[in-house]
Structure 1
Amino acid sequence: MSEPAPEGALDRNRVRTLIMLALPAILIGVVSALVLFALDELSRLLQHLIWENLPHAVGADPDGGWWIFGTLTLTGLAVGLIVRFVPGHAGPDSAAVELGGSALPLGTVPGVAAAAVLGLAGGVSLGPENPIIAINTAILTVLIGRLFSRVPAQLVVGLTVAGTVGALFGTPVAAALLFTGLAGSMAGGGALFDRLFLPLAAAGAGAVTMTLLGGTLLTVGLPAMGSPDGWDVLAGFIIAPLAAGFALLGVGVFTRVHHTFHRLGNPVLFTTLGGALLGLLGVIGGPLTLFKGAEESAALLAQRGSESAWTLVFLAAVKLVALVIAAAAGFRGGRIFPAVFVGVAAGLAAVAFVPSVPVSLAVSAAVLGVVLAVARDGWMALFIAVLITGDVSVTAVLCLAVLPAWLVVTNAPHMLAAPDGGTASRPA
């Protein structure tokens, strides 16, 4: 029986391994950001064509009801045709998969990219998270497998998720928080930060690359709150769980809506129907309730004070319904960005009802509650809420506000459906 290696030798081997894997981790982060930037720019160009150039060329009003309804219906039809006929069927249904997972075959990338770009440009209420992670994992599993054949494929997938999340939000902190729970449950020795080293390298490289390319996708501005007091803590305790409960109204019916759409069988039918319903919601809620919600959240904050409390509640409700329909009807996209819009509208409504509550606190607490209900990840919800406000003084209040919000959502249904249109099981 051989004796175990001395502790110093294990430490040296661990350091050597981290150094050797740092290069592919950084490469993964850079490529993840580049692909995200390319997909986002392509969707922006197509959005400009659809919502500005074309209506002006034909003398139509891009904010008019017929243009909104027609565009979203045609977007649904186009995405349905891609899902039905393009090889790979645009990857798995975003409503039925978590972020990450196993890498898709490289041949599915064109279909996933086309469906995602059309959805983003056409005004569908979903973000780019799920499809861009699927695209990046497919590309980078092949690329890293050829350049660094000894790097395990599952590690490449995990680092790609970290790199893409870092690029999406412009900081590696979100990826570090997401991987803390995973790393804490992983077998094997070594300090926790050893296991976060490579995800941080990938996420940091992705964040820096995206910043150098022109910034992140989620940029909003809120006034500083100042030093919080007891009333602020109480407000956070109330707003966050109320916002979570509001979001659960949509989450609770999600699997049934998903099942109803998928009973039609043919994706051309249910995505076209979904697009038509999104068009009707766009007509009802107006242009602010369209698209993924990042720029729209910033616009809503920029015009705060100009809308009544009940108008803001209405906007939040329309966007929540649009998010449920878009995710359930077979469109490819993520839910974080539209959930942020719902939270921003709900937070501004809270301020309109109770003007003494600081805007920064109300909006960040509401975003915390909504994202927590939709994504069911406390770290992600807390990070997005802090990112929205950009005010360190709010962080302590949010760390307390997340506790009652978590109690509200912990036993509620998850916003996840089975691939066959049924209800998926998901661990708490």
Structure 2
Amino acid sequence: MAEQAAGPASAPGIRALLRSPGYGRLLLVSAAVGVPVSLAAFGFVSLEHELQHWVWESAPKALGYGRAPWWWGLPALALAGLLLVPVVTRLPGRGGHVPVHGLGGPPTLPVEVPSVVLAALVSLPLGAVLGPEAPLMAMGSGLALLAVGRAQRAASPRLGPVMGAAGSTAAISTIFGSPLVAVVMMVEAAGLGGPQLTLLLLPCLLASGVGALVFTGFGHWTGLSIGALALPVVPKAGLPDAGDFLWGVPLAVAVAVVVVVAQSLGHRFAAFTAQRTGVRTVICAVLVGLCLTGYAVVTGRSPEEAALSGQATLGQLAADPQAWPVGALLALVVFKGLGWGVALGSLRGGPIFPAVLLGAALGVAVGGLPGMGVEAGLAAGLAASTAAITRLPVTSTVLAAALLGAQAADSMPLVIVCAVVGFLTATFVHRVTADAQEARQAPPRSAD
């Protein structure tokens, strides 16, 4: 349980903490670690983005196709599964944790970082319906722990978790579109208060700021793209009215249910791949490829829209929502949602980015209903989907505001309400599902 917020009685503890020489050295180490971690993260996301562009843009054109053909996802995902097998079965760390288990857990050990990087680079560019955020956080955590050393971690038990969190925030400092999102996520997920919150907050904030500076500088210098979650163009929104809330609240409920259903599917496939991992990982990768193929066949559109993390598709959707028929949006939710659910339990990557696209697609799909605009639907879908997948309503609100940019101020009342509704709905459905599962597993009661 999280500690209560610091009050007057805890103020001396905070002052003593901030004045202690050890904490000052911790802040210096956090700032110093932020530079190499961010450089490594920049190289990783730039390479992943370039590989993704080659697989889904350059290679089809080189073969004479104007875009990726409808069948492209099948061989791409089959190859991803085959390449992933030795990583998840033989290397230390098994390529990182299974995405359906979330972003939490203990810090990644340095020896596990190579498998995390390899698993992400063979999964994400080839079309795994997952994001780069989890591998980035694991890589940042492991590199930060490498900087402080095992002996120092053993001498100070709190050093490892704090440095791991600082490394993670440095690694994802701009992948969410704003370094502040990463800091809020780490703090809210930690569930701490008082001096412990201060102990975690300042190193994460410092490392994230340094990381954002490195990302920005190297992005301008090299001209490479990192494919951050961003909306270059956002539909102009006004202040939400009663119709926006009347449609927005049930939309948030529906989005949360979609996310939870996909997560439940992910848990089933995680159990499926726990045994005979090699063969079953390939089977799951092919199933993801079939979902991409199904989307392309049903809609006549590119399978790339349903593949990958959804960063590019999200930008296209926000820039020109009228170019997307409602049928195509619903097909995207169905096929990408199924592919995402399978990938959550079998491949390697992050769970957040695809959920954001699914929420945005549902929001735009209902945006044409009487009394609701596309702009309001987009804002509501973004907030509800992020809250449902992360179970962090404050982080979800900050992320939606960062994505909406100049339109965030007017949309904020609707964003907050939908983030809370999405969070509560996901919590309720998860609880009902867990209770039902416990009831099924409970031994039958003997008759008196």
Tell whether the structures are fold-level matches, with TM greater than 0.5: yes
- Which residue of structure 2 lines up, in the alignment, with residue 35 of structure 1? 40
User: Which of the numbers 267, 274, 278 marks the counterpart of 2:288?
Assistant: 278
User: Which amino acid in 2 is paired with 1:217?
Assistant: A
Secondary structure of the corresponding residue to residue 322 of structure 2: coil
1:119 to 2:123 alignment: yes
Larger mean Cα displacement after TM superposition, 72-81 or 237-246: 237-246
1:303 to 2:313 alignment: no
Alpha-carbon spacing, 1:267–1:393, altered in 2? closer, same or farther (3 Å): same
- Which residue of structure 2 lines up, in the alignment, with residue 4 of structure 1? none
1:217 to 2:228 alignment: yes
Q: Distance in 2 between matches of 1:401 and 1:156?
A: 33
User: Which of the numbers 255, 261, 265 marks the counterpart of 1:249?
Assistant: 261
- Which residue of structure 1 lines up, in the alignment, with residue 353 of structure 2? 337
Q: Distance in 1 between matches of 2:209 and 2:14?
A: 27
- Which residue of structure 1 lines up, in the alignment, with residue 429 of structure 2? 412
- Which residue of structure 2 lines up, in the alignment, with residue 317 of structure 1? 334
Q: Distance in 1 between matches of 2:84 and 2:161?
A: 30
1:381 to 2:396 alignment: yes
- Which residue of structure 2 lines up, in the alignment, with residue 402 of structure 1? 419
CA RMSD of aligned residues (A): 3.0
Alpha-carbon spacing, 1:147–1:363, altered in 2? closer, same or farther (3 Å): farther
> 2:140·2:170 contact (CA, 8 Å) conserved in 1?
no
- Which residue of structure 2 lines up, in the alignment, with residue 131 of structure 1? 135
Secondary structure of the corresponding residue to residue 366 of structure 2: helix
Q: Distance in 1 between matches of 2:377 and 2:30?
A: 38
The percent identity for this pair of structures is 25
- CA drift of 1:194 comes to 6.3
- Which residue of structure 1 lines up, in the alignment, with residue 374 of structure 2? 359
- Which residue of structure 1 lines up, in the alignment, with residue 362 of structure 2? 346
- Which residue of structure 1 lines up, in the alignment, with residue 222 of structure 2? none
Q: Distance in 1 between matches of 2:424 and 2:399?
A: 19
Alpha-carbon spacing, 1:393–1:100, altered in 2? closer, same or farther (3 Å): farther
- Which residue of structure 2 lines up, in the alignment, with residue 294 of structure 1? 311
Q: Residues 225-240 of structure 1 correspond to what in structure 2 (within 5 A)?
A: 225-240=237-252
TM-score (norm 2): 0.80
> 2:99·2:351 contact (CA, 8 Å) conserved in 1?
no
Q: Distance in 2 between matches of 1:116 and 1:366?
A: 27
TM-score (norm 1): 0.84
- CA drift of 1:413 comes to 2.5
- Which residue of structure 1 lines up, in the alignment, with residue 6 of structure 2? none
Q: Distance in 2 between matches of 1:13 and 1:382?
A: 30
- Which residue of structure 1 lines up, in the alignment, with residue 175 of structure 2? 168
Secondary structure of the corresponding residue to residue 329 of structure 2: helix
Larger mean Cα displacement after TM superposition, 119-128 or 136-145: 136-145
User: Which amino acid in 2 is paired with 1:322?
Assistant: G
- CA drift of 1:333 comes to 0.4
- CA drift of 1:208 comes to 2.6
Alpha-carbon spacing, 1:15–1:172, altered in 2? closer, same or farther (3 Å): farther
1:268 to 2:278 alignment: yes
Larger mean Cα displacement after TM superposition, 387-396 or 316-325: 387-396
Where has structure 1 moved over 6 Å in runs of 4 or more? Answer: 7-10, 146-151
Q: Distance in 1 between matches of 2:395 and 2:55?
A: 33
User: Which amino acid in 2 is paired with 1:239?
Assistant: L
Alpha-carbon spacing, 1:258–1:100, altered in 2? closer, same or farther (3 Å): closer
Secondary structure of the corresponding residue to residue 81 of structure 2: helix
Instruction: Mark the runs of 5 or more structure 1 residues left unpaired by the alignment.
Output: 1-6, 418-428
Secondary structure of the corresponding residue to residue 296 of structure 1: helix
Secondary structure of the corresponding residue to residue 334 of structure 1: coil
Alpha-carbon spacing, 1:298–1:12, altered in 2? closer, same or farther (3 Å): same
Q: Deviations over 1:376-407 (max 9, x none)?
A: 22223222222222222211222222333333
> 1:313·1:346 contact (CA, 8 Å) conserved in 2?
yes
- CA drift of 1:172 comes to 3.2
Larger mean Cα displacement after TM superposition, 83-92 or 333-342: 83-92
Alpha-carbon spacing, 1:157–1:56, altered in 2? closer, same or farther (3 Å): same
Alpha-carbon spacing, 1:397–1:303, altered in 2? closer, same or farther (3 Å): closer
- CA drift of 1:339 comes to 0.7
Q: Deviations over 1:92-113 (max 9, x none)?
A: 3333353352332x33322221
Q: Distance in 2 between matches of 1:314 and 1:64?
A: 17
Q: Residues 70-109 of structure 1 correspond to what in structure 2 (within 5 A)?
A: 70-96=75-101, 98-99=103-104, 101-104=106-109, 106-109=110-113
Q: Deviations over 1:41-93 (max 9, x none)?
A: 11123223333444444446752133321111111111123222345432333
Alpha-carbon spacing, 1:206–1:148, altered in 2? closer, same or farther (3 Å): farther
Alpha-carbon spacing, 1:392–1:316, altered in 2? closer, same or farther (3 Å): same
Q: Distance in 1 between matches of 2:424 and 2:182?
A: 24
User: Which amino acid in 2 is paired with 1:366?
Assistant: G
Q: Distance in 2 between matches of 1:115 and 1:44?
A: 15
Secondary structure of the corresponding residue to residue 66 of structure 1: coil
User: Which amino acid in 1 is paired with 2:132?
Assistant: P
- Which residue of structure 2 lines up, in the alignment, with residue 153 of structure 1? 160
Q: Distance in 1 between matches of 2:392 and 2:207?
A: 21
Secondary structure of the corresponding residue to residue 71 of structure 2: helix
User: Which amino acid in 2 is paired with 1:405?
Assistant: G
- Which residue of structure 2 lines up, in the alignment, with residue 426 of structure 1? none
Alpha-carbon spacing, 1:93–1:405, altered in 2? closer, same or farther (3 Å): closer
Alpha-carbon spacing, 1:147–1:205, altered in 2? closer, same or farther (3 Å): farther
Q: Deviations over 1:221-259 (max 9, x none)?
A: 312312333333334323222221232222233322322
- CA drift of 1:294 comes to 0.6
Q: Distance in 2 between matches of 1:128 and 1:156?
A: 21
- Which residue of structure 2 lines up, in the alignment, with residue 208 of structure 1? 213
- CA drift of 1:364 comes to 1.8
Secondary structure of the corresponding residue to residue 137 of structure 2: helix
1:25 to 2:41 alignment: no
- Which residue of structure 2 lines up, in the alignment, with residue 369 of structure 1? 384
